[in-house]
Amino acid sequence: MSEGLYPTHTLKYENSKEVLLELKKAGYQLGIVTNKVHRLAIYALECVGLDNIFDVVIGFEDVKNPKPDAEGILKAIDLFNSNQESTLYIGDNASDILSADNAKVDSCLVTWGPRIIDPNVKPTFKVNSYIDLKEKLLYGKGI
């Protein structure tokens, strides 16, 4: 997408900011690993008012091997001083789930958004909304 289109074509999903802030308050470390150029990933977050929420943003040029390679996720884990066992990678497409598999971390597939979900994708679990994500992560409620 052209940079000029970001302000009008970047989607903010219902309850996104509120849920992300609740997760952060609960102690979750939040990061983004994207195949977008780093600067444009930050700009997209600014366009939807989600800037300053994520502790780590890893863009295309921040790794040698972009998704579906595990490098970006493993780099984020390292920057968080964390481990694979306590990491959940959330994504909206097959490449994201494959990246999580390659990094040997749990994965969550979000079913909202403008993408067609590949029926062969096998995430650890799926969620249908930010509220579902909050219920699963904060209260352990199944989806």
Q: Using one digit for the tens of pLDDT, what is the confidence trace for 2-16?
A: 666 555 556 778 999
The answer to whether residue 37 sits within a structural domain is: yes
The answer to whether residue 9 sits within a structural domain is: no
The answer to whether residue 8 sits within a structural domain is: no
Q: Using one digit for the tens of pLDDT, what is the confidence trace for 111-129?
A: 987 788 888 889 999 999 9
Helix segments in 26-110, DSSP class H:
38-47, 71-79, 94-103
The answer to whether residue 6 sits within a structural domain is: no
CATH number at residue 107: 3.40.50.1000
Beta carbons within 8 Å of 100's beta carbon, 6+ residues apart: 73, 89, 91, 106, 107, 123, 124
The answer to whether residue 100 sits within a structural domain is: yes
The answer to whether residue 41 sits within a structural domain is: yes
Residue 38 or 142, more confident = 38
The answer to whether residue 116 sits within a structural domain is: yes
Quote the pTM value.
0.92
Q: Using one digit for the tens of pLDDT, what is the confidence trace for 71-119?
A: 999 999 999 999 999 999 999 999 999 999 999 999 999 998 778 888 8
CA distance 45 to 50: 5
